[in-house]
Structures are given as structure tokens and as C-alpha cells.
């Protein structure tokens, strides 16, 4: 038996997703589609103050309003939580003080939404405002103002300091030192579907919560803890989810409140966030201020990197402790680095909490490093692609900070993308105000360690076959639109030789499906993919013995393909009923021969990769994806507007299980990168978020999105399922720096601050013109070391 | 999704009935045309009318008719898409068709109306927000408060005129037919607006805009419309500019006017007859016109885009529009 016999395979072929038709026809059921008998509607009262003590809450008038069934406040759900075990700093409703505009203060359940809203207006809250911390600088200097009064390190969520080798020695060896400062702006996810949860506590003492979550398993644990209900009696169901991008990776107040309000009323309770509430829930990309110093030899060899960053974390930790590690650990890739030092400091501010967004924690430093590489190339007179190739990490190596590298096809990505785009022919030759730029990047395929300490598997898949010929896959994964259902089905189909049409994938239901840690850190294809692969092989093994006995061959000789099972050395027997069986017959034969049902579990646990270093539990991954992108831009010198003419994206995804879905993920990444490069910014009026709407928060429309050419490169990772690696996040990392490097090629200005708004570009162009005019009149100035002219 | 507050919904069949309803309910009534701005604003708590008087039931308010003596009469409830696609509009008033097709999205153009656009409420980043948001900031002069967050000492509201079609309509010399309980009047579109973003229009209580009257284009005149925005769809402008020149571009102009909008409560109209009379439209004159058009505009922080940048872009946009007339290829924007 082989997984890839000579017979044609559906794996690696372009195909529509298994779960596509219900979504495009509107038949798919999302959380807000749920209407349960006697269901109440819940609403949450939010703080209009950024930092204030809650002196008094009086809910008596709200409770007295006809149609109101329950009102709860902080003391009713006092158990603390937080997605990361070391930073439990949230409660569902705030107790004693509020830390941002939009903080949750009380929740009501009423017969309808209008009554619930009327009840909110009747809740009286007296606030005593406190001084606000709005910037990283304030957070670090105002020791008199504490956002979390019991925090160990004042307003610092986390400081990470790591050092590998002596960077000063590295700088002494270097011929060029490039040193610069960067600012990467905060941004948010804007999933099409706003967060929604339905809680249903039933008289048998069991709680069911339907929620638009990326993390059914972690939500399950936190619901049990915060509600004080044994986890064995809590069920989380993830309906179809209208995207997350990291924005649905935390447990959220609406889930706890819907559950508690249901427990108090005995009726199902639904809470759906408005778009504005999603902006306050946030957990988006951290704003990073960065300082970066890199030494490079004339040969192009990088000798050392020294790097510091400051993260504006907002009011709560969310994933911030992890972000603080991701802020630095991936800088040792994809360029071999002999010496490295980094420091990351994440602080609390009185603003919506930052968290994980696509390319979590790695997007911002990647921006800085990829501009730095081009600056070094300019200073040395080396081609930027050559400089990258010169330092490219090799397969089967270990980075200076102990990351284990398996498959790498970055050089192939660089080749593909430069060839397709004509990078070398175009660079410096496109004429005034037109330019081309390149960047490369890497990302993880899931974290080697789960969020809480556990030796258990990270993914388990259960598979059931029966005489109907159907194959049912039960997985705790959370398809949020990225295609994990399709991935599970297609891998199983490949092993069992059947069509995905005959599959049922049941996922994201903690009662029915085995544990999977969820959709974050680009882990699902690698981990759940390996789990379903193992389950499918075990099921096939259960069929193979009885079928081989029936057909008179050895089990290992059987081929499963096109719903047929036959001895592989006789291709002509494939459709001959005397010498082969249909898949359905095969199941019948196996059931009859064994008197047992057919089914199996498959699991995946990442390899235990020891590290020589302390403090390195965050960063190691079983594999890494690689990306190279080229952007071609035109800059309008009078308006400062950048139009992106085209983006070429080459991505080493290991193996494209369904290329159509992988291309979709790459395109989505580029799209999101274009938004962060050109449009999206977090502007505050004091502590008030300026644009909590999708009219004023400018994500790109289709007209703002350039043509995207996706080039898939397959490195066949030795440990990935059929060689597959991630594709959902990594491709975004290259987009923003590729655009910045193209703007430099077009104009000679470095955009060290995102987004590259027209007014900023114009200001940079004017500064350059002024400097040039001055340069012409002044005596010849010495050339600066490196080329770190900021904007 | 945000809730729409409760209201009564009335669908009069003729203008007389509509005007009676508006007179009867007074300040408690709002006119509902396409609803693409009014309904979101009601969700934000900016308006809480007891009655919405819909224009849907009046066929006479829809459609584009030839006017006696030339020109067109556009019913106020005609959708922006119907205006933009009308062959007569495309032939006679291409700048108006351009302006209609830059509104939001195709779907909104198919719902929003020309009358609704002409009477689009003034906009401001501190005003077009939810009730919660405005509570957190403190209410502003335009809605429920006594201070302008854009200009704290200003006695008047600085919310900006933002209607895409109005600059072109003003340059076309378009008129508005207003019908009230006391009778009807026809006034220039230009006269519909005031300098106070709070009481921003000159309609009398209970008056209904029924028609936009487009006079025949003057021979030898050309009008261009330009919009600058952050993204290419679903975005209000941060700058609108329309440019009109009359006369022989090469031999000598007889007149020119520029309207700039999104910079204050009313569109800023700059007559330039004295500057241009008798001069050919050269690059130098285009630059002079652009400077003159920018001079009276004083954009403030009503938008997310920096005022100084918006001011600078008036010059660029107007000059480029003129360059287009001159046949210069630099006028890409």
C-alpha cells in the first residue's frame, strides 16, 4: 500500500472546497443564524471612560424594566481569565475599575434587542476618572499610574531579553553597519462576521455555547473555569465562522455573559457584537517601535543583529506575552545569523488590547529587517536578492537561537518571483516614480508547545467508516474560512482513495470531536493534517487485511483509488469485479470479517526538540514556511499616492494539498498586507478610538487591491502531511516590506513608518528634495555609514 | 448590527400629500429618499424621527425628463445610477455622470438618489459616530452638545459639505425645485447651503426637494469633476473639486469657476472671470487658477486626512483637471 500510487490522485489538484457550496449559496449556518425556542437577547454595557474607578453600579431600574430577565455585573463572574496562563488579567465584566473605552461593565438579557438596549440605558454607573496611559513612553515613566494594580512589573506586561553570541564582536567584523528606527502601526482584523455567541444552560446542569471562535478547546476550558461548571458538562460548538485572522483567538466577554445569563434565566441567550464592539474587542496587531542594528561584511555575510522593540499592548495581556517572544525569535530566519541580541518590552495602555493578527508578532520585525537588508545591499552595492541568497538558511540546520530547520525552498521562491516579475530587468530601470521591490520571510507551522502545559497530543482526529461507503471525520479544528475542513477531507480522500463528496467532516464541537488546540499560529494543516493522515492510514489498514484475503493478495499490495481497491501489480483488474472491490464493498468485507465497526483515532504531537537555551519555549515549530514577494509600484510625486501595479508572491508551502485554497490564502495575505502598507491605521482622539466602523477604518476594497500572481513552491517537508506546511499567515510577512523597497526604488525614500499614507510619502519626498537642494549648494558631505536615512 | 430606532412609515402617492404630511409632523418627520445616509445615521442616534415620509410612492419624483427650452429635469428620487447611465446626461453633463459614479459603491448608487445627495447632511469625524462614541467624547455642537471638537472656540459647526454631485451641479447652474405647504419655488443649487454645518441648508420647514433642473450647457464651456479619497470605493471624499472654463482654450477664455468641497460646511465657489478673461489656458494660467481656488478653502480636522495635505491637494487636483482640458498627459489623477 502506498499513499501515492500510479493511479491519478486528487491531492495537489485544484478543486472547490468541500464546504464551499453551502457558503456561496447562503445555506451555511453562522452563530447569528441560530434561533432557539425562548431565546433571549443579551447586550453589554460598556465604559465611556478610558481609565476610571467604578464607584457605584445600580442595576435596579434595568432589572425592573418589563421584558428584562437578568442583569449581571462584574461580581457575578469574578473568576479571572486570560488566554495565556501566565497573564490572567481579564474578567468578563470589570470589577472595581475600567481600563479602556469599551470595557465591559454589565450585561442584560431581555426578550428582544430593543428591550435589552433600553435596559442598558437604565443602568447607573458612577465613575471616578483616573489618569490615562496612552503611549509606551507614559507606560514606562508614569509609575504613579498603574493600569493593573496587582501587576508584577508595573505597566510592563512582559520584557524579553535574549542574547546569542557577542554582537559587539560581530559589529567589529562588519564592513557596513546599518542602524535605523522603524514604526509599524497597529491594525485590526475586520472579519466579515462580527463576534456572536449563544449560551444555553439546560436543566440537566449542562452548558452549551455556540460561538464564532477560533479556539473551541481553550474556550471550553475557560468557560468551565469562569462559570464554575465541570468541563465534562460544558460543550462548545463552533458553527461556520466568517473569518478570524486571530481576532477570535481569545475567550471573549460575550461568551461568558451569554452562558451566565442563560444559567440565570434558564433560557438560551444570544449576544452579537456590533461592528463597533469588535473594534473595542480588538486583539489586533501591536504597534511596534523598533530600533535595529545590523552588521554586514563586504561579502554580504551578516555578522550580527542587535534589535529592540517596544509594543503598545493596550489594556489587557491577551496573547501579549507570546507576542513579546515572537517579536524577536524569528529574526534569526531566513538569514543565517551568527550573533543576535534582542529585547522586547510590551506595555499596558488604556486602549483596546492588542493580540494576535495574521503573522502574529513577526510582521513588524520582518518589515524592519527586510528594509534593512535592502539598505545594506544599497550601502554595499550588492544586489538585494544576492544578499538574501548569500545568507539563506539551509535545510537540516539549526539557527543561532536553537530553531530546528527542516525543509527550506527560499532560494527557489526567490528564483520564481524574480523571474516572473522581471525584478532584475526592471529594478532601477522603470523610469521616474516607478519602482520594484522584493522581500522575503518565514513563518511557523504551529507552536511546539501548547498554550497551557500539556504532554497530550495537539491534534486528534477520529474517523468512522461504515457500509454506506461514507467516511466521517471528527476533528476539534476550527475552520474559520481558511479551508481546514477541505484539508482534512482531501488528505483522508487521498489515503482511502475516495472522493471528498462521500465525506462528512464534523469539526469544532467539544462533545463530538476529539481535542484540537484550534486555529492559531498556522498549526492546523501541519498538526491536524498529520492526525487525519494517521487516522486514515489506520482505517485503511483495518480494511486491507480482510480485503486482501478476499482478493487473494498481500495487504501491502493493495491500491485504494477512485473508490476501488485492487492489487496494485494488476492495474487491469481495477474495474474487474472478479479481482477488485469497490470501496463500499471493502468496508462491508472488513466489517463482516472482523465483526467490528471500522474506525480509528489519529493524533499529532510535535517532536520534542530540545534546545540548548533557556527561555526558548516560544518560537520552536516543527517546520517553517518561506516566502518571497515582489511589488511593482508607481508613486505620484505630487499627491504622494502609491499605486501598486502588481504583486508576485512565491510561497514555499511544502506541498499544496489543494492549490486553489492555498492560492486563496496567499492572496488573502497579500491583500491584508496591502491594507497595512497603504491604508490602515489606529488613530485615537485621546483614549477614544477614532474610527470604529468599516466606513472609516480603511481596509482595501477590490479596487485598491493589485493583481496578485501566486507562485507555489513545494519543498516537501519531511514531517508535514504529504510534505505540507502552512500558507495562511506566512505570505503576509513579505508584502509590506516589498512595497516599501519598491517605493525606495521608485523615489529613493525609505518609508520607515507604516502605513505609507500619501501625506507621509509626500513629506518624505519633499524632505529628500530639500536635502538634495542643500547638498548641491553645500560642500560635499561625507557619505553616511550605511544608508539609514529615515523619513 | 446596530438597531434602527422605531418610526412610523408613510408612503404618500403625490407631492401634495407628501407636503401635507411634512407640514403635519413638522420636526418629527424626515424625508426618506434612498436612505443610504439617513438610515445609518438613525442607527447612530443622529436622528430619531417619529415619521419617515418615503418618496417611493411618487412616480413623478423619479425619472429624467427633457425640459422645455432645453436641458433636463431630474426627479429628486431618481437613483444616482440612473443619472449616471442616462445617455442625455452622459452627452450633456459628463461631469455629473462622473460625480454620481464615484459615490460609495454600485449598490449604493442604485439606491441613493440625486435629491438625497444634494441634501446630504454635513459630515464630521466627531459627528458621524455611534451614540456610545459621542457619549464617550462628549456631544458636539451639531448634535446635543455646545462645543465644536474641530474648533473649540467656534460658535458654529464645522461639519463639511460632502455631496459628490454638488460641485458639478453648481457649475452647471443647476436649480432646485422646492415644494412646501405655501407653494413652490425654484432656487439655484448653490443657494441651498449655509456656513453653519449644523443648520446647513436653506430649505424652509416642511419643504420638499422635488426636482433638480439642469439648464442646457453653455456653448463653449467645459466642466470636470474630481474626487480624492483614501480608497477607490466605499469612501467619502476628503476633497471634491469641480472646474469650469468657458471660451476658447487656445484663443482666450471668457470665464472660469472652481468649486471645492469637503473643506467646510458649504462648497467654496471661486469665480475667476477677472483672472482668466481673454487669456488662453496655458500651464501658467492653470497654476494661477489652482492657487486662486485653494486660497479661500480652510480645511480643518473634520476628516482623518491632515488639513494641510487637503489644502495642498486642492492646487494639485484643480491644476490637473485643467491640464486634462489642455490635453496634458500628466493629469492622471
Find the CATH number of the domain harbouring A71: 3.90.1170.50
pLDDT in tens, A523-532: 999 999 999 9
- Tell me the CATH number at A354: 3.30.365.10
Do residue A277 and residue A291 come from a single domain? no
Q: Which of A574, A604, A634 is the last residue of a domain?
A: A604
- Clarify whether residues A265 and A309 are in a common domain: no
Tell me if chain B has a CB within 8 Å of the CB of A636.
Answer: yes
- Each residue's pLDDT tens digit, B8-50: 999 999 999 999 999 999 999 999 999 999 999 999 999 999 9
- pLDDT over 50 (residue A382): yes
| Section A297-310 average pLDDT | 98
Cβ distance of A276 and B228 shorter than 8 Å: no
> Cα–Cα distance between A168 and B37 in angstroms, integer?
61
CA distance A705 to chain B (A): 10
Helix/strand/coil for A673: helix
Share of chain A above pLDDT 70, in %: 96
Strands A581-582 and A564-567: antiparallel
Strand order in the sheet with B72-75: B64-66, B72-75, B208-214, B175-180, B183-188
C-alpha cell at A115: 428591550
Q: Note whether A315 and A277 are same-domain residues.
A: no
Q: What is the pLDDT of residue A608?
A: 85
List of domains in chain B: 59-119+160-214 (3.30.465.10), 221-326 (3.30.390.50)
- The reply to whether A529 falls in a domain is yes
Task: Give dist(CA A662, CA A729) in Å, integer.
Answer: 11
Residue A184 has pLDDT above 70, yes or no: yes
- Exposure class string for A323-337: b at 16+ Cβ within 10 A, else e: bbbbbbbbbbbbbbb
* CA pair distance A720, A529, nearest whole angstrom: 8
Q: Which of A49, A692, A700 sits opposite B133 (nearest CB)?
A: A692
Verify that A257 and A117 share a domain, yes or no: yes
- State the nearest Cα–Cα gap between B257 and chain A, in angstroms: 23
With beta carbons under 8 A apart, name residues in chain B contacting A691.
Answer: 125, 304
* pLDDT for A183: 98
pTM, two decimal places: 0.96
- Interchain proximity A639–B316, CB inside 8 Å: yes
Say whether residue A688 is in contact with chain B using an 8 A CB cutoff.
Answer: yes
Distance CA A619, CA A307 (A): 17
Q: How confident is the model at residue A775 (pLDDT cuts 50, 70, 90)?
A: confident
Torsion sign (Cα): A487, A489, A495, A498: negative
pLDDT at A10: 79
State the Cα–Cα distance between residues A92 and A85, nearest whole angstrom. Answer: 16
Place of cell 464651456: B221
Residue A619: pLDDT band (50, 70, 90) is confident
Closest approach of B15 to chain A, Cα-based (Å): 34
Select from A45, A638, A763 the residue whose CB has the most chain B CBs within 10 Å, as the one to mutate to test that interface.
A638
* Integer Cα distance of B19 and B192 in angstroms: 19
Q: Is the pLDDT of residue B108 over 50?
A: yes
Same domain, residue pair A328 and A417: yes
Q: CB distance A639–B3 less than 8 Å?
A: no
Run of H or E including A138: helix A136-141
Does A48 contact B232 at a Cβ distance shorter than 8 Å? no
User: Do A417 and A503 sit in the same domain of this protein?
Assistant: no
Residue A785 lies in a domain: no
Residue-wise pLDDT for A512-523, tens only, equals: 999 999 999 999
Q: Do A641 and B333 touch (CB under 8 A)?
A: yes
Per-residue confidence (pLDDT) for residue A9, from 0 to 100: 73
Q: Which of A105, A351, A688, A691 to mutate to test the interface with B (most CBs of B within 10 A)?
A: A688
Average pLDDT of every residue of chain B: 96
A643 touches B at CB < 8 Å: no
With a cut of 80, say whether residue A3 has pLDDT above it.
no
What is the pLDDT, as a whole number, of residue A613?
72
Distance from CA of A689 to the nearest CA of B (A): 9
DSSP tag of A150: T
pLDDT at A179 over 70: yes
In a domain, A146, yes or no: no
Element (H, E) at A635: strand A624-635
Closest-CA distance, A586 to chain B, in angstroms, reads: 51
Partners of residue B313 in chain A, C-beta under 8 Å? 639
**pLDDT, position B332:** 44
Domain of A46? 37-130+193-242+248-281
pLDDT over 50 (residue A781): no
A46 in contact with B, Cβ within 8 Å: yes
**Does position A790 have pLDDT exceeding 60, yes or no?**
no
Sequence-distant (6+) residues with CB within 8 A of A180 are A291, A292, A368, A371, A372, A375, A750, A752, A786, A788, A790
The shortest CB-CB distance from B232 to any of A117, A683, A704 is to A704
Counting one residue from chain A and one from chain B, the pairs whose CB atoms sit within 8 A come to 75
Is A117 close to B234, i.e. CB distance below 8 A?
A: no
Q: Is residue A527 part of a domain?
A: yes
Last residue of one domain, picked from the residues A573, A604, A635:
A604
CA distance A776 to B274: 41
Is residue A84's pLDDT more than 90? yes
The tally of domains found in chain A comes to 3
A274–B137 C-beta distance less than 8 A = no
Residues A619 and A517 in one domain: no
Chain B residues touching A758 at Cβ < 8 A: 309
**Chain A neighbors of B137, CB-CB under 8 A:** 685, 688
Residues in chain B closer than 8 A to A693 (CB atoms): 129
| Residues A581, A688 within the same domain | no
Do A598 and A616 fall within a single domain? no
State the residue for C-alpha cell 464541537: A509
Answer with the one of A604, A631, A661 that is the final residue of a domain.
A604
Q: Is 0.90 exceeded by the ipTM?
A: yes
Condensed to tens digits (0 to 9), the pLDDT of residues A621-671 reads: 999 999 999 999 999 999 999 999 999 999 999 999 999 999 999 999 999
Cβ distance of A688 and B133 shorter than 8 Å: yes
Q: What is the mean pLDDT of residues B107-119?
A: 98
For testing the chain B interface, which of A103, A758, A761, A764 should be mutated: the one with the most B CBs within 10 Å?
A758
Residue A117 in contact with partner chain B when CB distance is under 8 A: yes
Q: Is A683 on the interface with B (CB under 8 A)?
A: yes
Do B133 and B125 touch, CB atoms closer than 8 A?
no
Task: Answer whether residue A786 shows pLDDT above 90.
Answer: no
Per the domain annotation, does A158 fall within a domain? Answer: no
Confidence bin at A609 (pLDDT 50/70/90): confident
What is the reported pLDDT for A610?
65
Residue A544 and residue A619 share a domain? no
DSSP state, residue A19: T
Residue A61 pLDDT greater than 70, yes or no: yes
What is residue A29's DSSP assignment?
A: -
Binary contact (B309, A272; C-beta < 8 A): no
Inform me whether the pLDDT recorded for A2 exceeds 80: no
Mutate to test the interface with A, among B4, B40, B304 (most CBs of A within 10 A): B304
Indicate whether A336 belongs to any domain: yes
pLDDT of residue A152: 87
pLDDT at A784 (0 to 100) = 41
Contact B125 A701 (CB under 8 A): no
Q: B126-129, long-range: CB within 8 Å, 24+ apart, which pairs?
A: B126/A685, B126/B150, B126/B302, B127/B46, B127/B159, B128/A696, B128/B41, B128/B44, B128/B46, B129/A692, B129/A693, B129/B44
Q: Which residues of B touch A185 (CB under 8 A)?
A: none
Cell 505609507 maps to which residue? A756
Give the gap in angstroms from C-alpha B304 to the nearest C-alpha of chain A: 8
Alpha-carbon distance of A683 to A698, in angstroms, equals 12
**What is the structure's pLDDT at B1?**
82
Is the same domain home to A621 and A767?
yes
Do A483 and A365 share a structural domain? no
Distance CA A121, CA A324 (A): 39
pLDDT in tens, A669-714: 999 999 999 999 999 999 999 999 999 999 999 999 999 999 999 9
Query: What's the rounded mean pLDDT across residues A480-494?
Result: 96
The three cell numbers locating residue A298: 563586504
Q: Is A49 on the interface with B (CB under 8 A)?
A: yes
**Beta strand A558-561 pairing with A688-689:** unpaired
Residue A169 in domain: no
Asked whether the predicted pLDDT for residue A788 surpasses 70, the reply is no
SS3 for A528-588, per residue? HHHHHHHHHHHHHHHHHHHHHHHHCCCHHHEEEECCEEEECCCHHHCCCCCCCEEHHHHHH
Contact A698 B235 (CB under 8 A): yes
Contact A704 B304 (CB under 8 A): no
Amino acid at each position: 500500500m502506498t499513499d501515492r500510487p500510479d493511479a491519478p490522485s486528487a491531492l495537489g489538484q485544484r478543486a472547490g472546497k468541500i464546504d464551499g457550496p453551502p457558503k456561496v449559496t447562503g445555506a451555511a449556518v453562522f452563530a447569528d443564524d441560530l434561533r432557539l425556542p425562548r431565546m433571549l437577547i443579551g447586550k453589554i454595557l460598556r465604559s465611556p471612560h478610558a481609565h476610571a474607578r467604578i464607584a457605584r453600579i445600580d442595576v435596579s431600574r434595568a432589572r425592573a424594566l418589563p421584558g428584562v430577565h437578568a442583569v449581571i455585573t462584574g461580581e457575578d463572574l469574578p473568576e479571572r481569565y486570560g488566554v495565556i496562563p501566565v497573564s490572567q488579567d481579564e474578567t468578563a465584566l470589570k470589577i472595581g475599575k475600567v481600563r479602556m473605552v469599551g470595557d465591559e461593565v454589565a450585561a442584560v438579557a431581555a426578550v428582544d434587542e430593543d428591550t435589552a438596549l433600553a435596559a442598558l440605558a437604565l443602568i447607573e454607573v458612577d465613575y471616578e476618572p483616573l489618569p490615562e496611559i496612552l503611549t509606551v513612553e507614559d507606560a514606562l515613566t508614569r509609575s504613579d499610574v498603574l493600569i493593573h494594580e496587582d501587576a508584577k512589573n508595573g505597566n510592563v506586561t512582559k520584557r524579553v531579553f535574549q542574547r546569542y553570541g557577542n554582537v559587539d564582536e560581530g559589529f567589529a567584523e562588519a564592513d557596513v553597519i546599518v542602524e535605523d528606527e522603524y514604526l509599524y502601526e497597529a491594525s485590526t482584523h475586520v472579519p466579515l462576521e462580527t463576534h456572536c455567541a449563544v449560551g444555553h444552560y439546560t436543566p440537566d446542569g449542562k452548558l452549551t455555547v455556540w460561538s464564532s471562535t477560533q479556539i473551541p478547546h481553550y474556550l471550553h476550558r475557560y468557560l468551565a473555569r469562569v462559570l464554575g461548571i465541570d468541563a465534562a458538562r460544558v460543550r462548545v460548538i463552533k458553527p461556520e465562522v466568517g473569518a478570524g485572522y486571530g481576532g477570535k483567538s481569545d475567550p471573549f466577554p460575550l461568551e461568558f455573559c451569554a452562558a451566565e445569563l442563560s444559567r440565570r434565566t434558564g433560557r438560551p441567550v444570544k449576544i452579537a457584537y456590533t461592528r463597533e464592539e469588535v473594534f473595542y474587542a480588538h486583539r489586533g496587531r501591536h504597534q511596534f517601535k523598533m530600533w535595529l542594528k545590523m552588521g554586514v561584511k563586504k561579502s554580504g555575510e551578516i555578522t550580527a543583529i542587535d534589535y529592540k522593540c517596544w509594543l503598545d499592548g493596550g489594556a489587557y495581556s491577551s496573547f501579549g506575552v507570546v507576542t513579546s517572544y515572537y517579536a524577536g525569535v524569528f529574526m534569526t530566519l531566513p538569514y543565517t545569523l551568527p550573533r543576535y541580541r534582542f529585547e522586547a518590552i510590551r506595555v499596558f495602555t488604556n486602549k483596546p488590547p492588542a493580540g494576535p493578527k495574521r503573522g502574529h508578532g513577526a510582521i513588524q520585525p520582518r518589515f524592519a529587517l527586510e528594509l534593512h537588508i535592502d539598505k545594506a545591499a544599497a550601502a554595499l552595492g550588492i544586489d538585494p536578492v544576492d544578499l538574501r541568497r548569500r545568507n539563506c538558511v539551509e535545510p537540516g540546520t539549526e539557527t543561532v537561537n536553537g530553531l530546528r530547520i527542516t525543509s527550506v525552498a527560499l532560494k527557489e521562491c526567490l528564483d520564481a518571483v524574480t523571474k516572473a516579475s522581471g525584478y532584475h530587468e526592471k529594478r532601477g530601470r522603470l523610469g521616474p516614480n516607478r519602482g520594484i521591490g522584493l522581500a522575503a520571510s518565514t513563518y511557523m507551522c504551529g507552536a511546539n508547545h501548547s498554550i497551557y502545559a500539556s504532554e497530550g497530543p495537539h491534534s486528534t482526529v477520529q474517523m468512522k467508516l461504515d457500509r454506506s461507503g461514507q467516511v466521517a471525520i471528527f476533528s476539534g479544528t476550527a475552520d474559520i474560512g481558511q479551508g481546514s475542513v477541505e484539508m482534512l477531507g482531501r488528505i483522508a480522500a487521498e489515503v482511502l482513495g475516495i472522493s471528498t463528496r462521500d465525506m462528512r467532516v464534523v469539526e469544532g464541537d467539544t462533545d463530538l470531536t476529539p481535542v484540537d488546540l484550534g486555529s492559531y499560529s498556522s498549526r492546523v494543516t501541519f498538526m491536524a493534517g498529520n492526525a487525519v493522515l494517521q487516522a486514515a492510514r489506520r482505517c485503511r489498514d483495518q480494511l486491507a487485511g480482510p480485503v486482501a484475503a478476499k482478493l487473494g493478495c498481500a495487504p501491502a499490495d493493495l491500491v485504494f483509488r477512485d473508490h476501488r481497491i485492487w492489487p496494485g501489480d494488476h492495474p487491469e483488474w481495477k474495474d474487474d469485479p472478479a479481482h477488485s472491490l469497490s470501496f463500499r464493498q471493502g468496508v462491508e468485507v472488513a466489517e463482516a470479517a472482523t465483526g467490528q465497526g471500522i474506525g480509528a483515532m489519529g493524533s499529532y504531537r510535535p517532536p520534542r526538540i530540545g534546545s540548548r537555551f533557556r527561555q526558548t519555549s516560544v518560537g520552536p515549530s516543527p517546520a517553517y514556511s518561506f516566502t518571497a514577494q515582489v511589488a511593482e509600484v508607481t508613486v505620484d510625486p505630487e499627491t504622494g499616492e502609491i499605486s501598486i501595479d502588481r504583486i508576485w508572491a512565491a510561497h514555499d508551502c511544502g506541498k499544496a494539498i489543494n492549490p486553489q485554497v492555498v492560492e486563496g490564502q496567499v492572496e488573502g495575505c497579500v491583500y491584508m498586507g496591502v491594507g497595512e502598507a497603504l491604508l490602515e491605521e489606529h488613530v485615537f482622539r485621546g483614549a477614544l478610538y477614532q474610527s470604529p466602523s468599516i466606513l472609516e477604518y480603511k481596509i482595501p476594497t477590490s479596487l485598491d487591491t493589485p493583481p496578485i500572481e501566486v507562485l507555489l513552491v513545494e519543498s516537501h517537508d519531511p514531517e508535514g502531511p504529504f510534505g505540507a506546511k502552512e500558507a495562511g499567515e506566512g505570505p503576509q510577512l513579505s508584502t509590506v516590506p516589498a512595497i516599501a523597497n519598491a517605493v525606495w526604488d521608485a523615489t529613493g525614500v525609505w518609508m520607515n513608518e507604516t502605513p505609507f499614507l500619501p501625506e507621509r510619502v509626500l513629506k518624505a519626498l519633499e524632505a529628500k528634495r530639500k536635502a538634495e537642494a542643500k547638498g548641491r549648494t553645500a560642500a560635499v558631505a561625507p557619505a553616511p555609514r550605511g544608508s539609514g536615512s529615515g523619513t | 448590527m446596530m438597531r434602527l430606532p422605531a418610526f412610523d412609515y408613510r408612503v404618500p402617492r403625490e407631492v401634495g400629500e407628501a407636503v401635507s404630511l411634512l407640514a403635519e409632523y413638522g420636526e418629527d418627520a424626515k424625508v426618506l429618499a434612498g436612505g443610504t445616509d439617513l438610515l445609518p445615521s438613525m442607527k447612530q442616534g443622529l436622528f430619531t424621527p417619529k415619521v419617515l415620509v418615503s418618496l417611493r410612492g411618487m412616480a413623478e419624483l423619479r425619472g429624467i425628463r427633457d425640459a422645455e427650452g432645453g436641458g433636463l429635469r431630474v426627479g429628486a428620487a431618481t437613483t444616482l445610477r440612473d443619472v449616471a447611465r442616462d445617455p442625455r446626461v452622459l452627452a450633456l453633463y459628463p461631469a455629473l455622470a462622473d460625480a454620481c459614479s464615484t459615490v460609495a459603491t454600485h449598490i449604493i448608487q442604485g439606491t441613493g438618489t440625486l435629491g438625497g445627495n444634494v441634501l446630504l447632511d454635513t459630515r464630521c469625524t466627531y459627528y458621524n459616530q455611534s451614540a456610545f462614541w459621542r457619549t464617550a467624547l462628549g456631544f458636539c455642537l451639531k448634535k446635543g452638545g455646545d462645543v465644536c471638537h474641530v474648533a473649540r472656540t467656534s460658535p458654529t459647526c464645522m461639519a463639511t459639505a460632502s455631496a459628490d454631485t454638488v460641485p458639478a451641479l453648481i457649475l452647471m447652474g443647476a436649480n432646485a425645485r422646492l415644494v412646501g405647504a405655501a407653494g413652490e419655488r425654484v432656487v439655484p443649487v448653490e443657494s441651498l447651503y449655509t456656513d453653519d454645518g449644523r443648520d446647513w441648508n436653506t430649505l424652509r420647514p416642511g419643504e420638499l426637494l422635488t426636482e433638480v433642473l439642469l439648464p442646457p450647457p453653455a456653448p463653449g464651456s467645459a466642466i470636470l469633476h474630481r474626487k480624492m479619497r483614501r480608497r477607490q470605493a466605499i469612501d467619502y471624499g476628503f476633497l471634491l473639486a469641480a472646474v469650469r472654463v468657458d471660451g476658447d482654450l487656445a484663443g482666450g477664455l471668457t470665464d472660469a469657476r472652481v468649486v471645492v468641497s469637503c473643506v467646510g460646511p458649504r462648497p467654496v465657489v471661486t469665480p475667476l472671470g477677472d483672472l482668466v478673461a481673454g487669456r488662453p489656458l496655458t500651464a501658467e494660467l492653470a497654476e494661477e487658477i489652482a492657487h486662486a481656488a485653494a486660497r479661500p478653502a480652510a480645511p480643518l480636522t473634520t476628516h482623518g486626512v491632515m488639513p494641510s495635505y487637503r489644502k495642498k491637494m486642492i492646487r494639485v487636483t484643480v491644476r490637473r483637471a485643467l491640464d486634462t482640458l489642455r490635453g496634458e498627459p500628466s493629469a492622471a489623477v
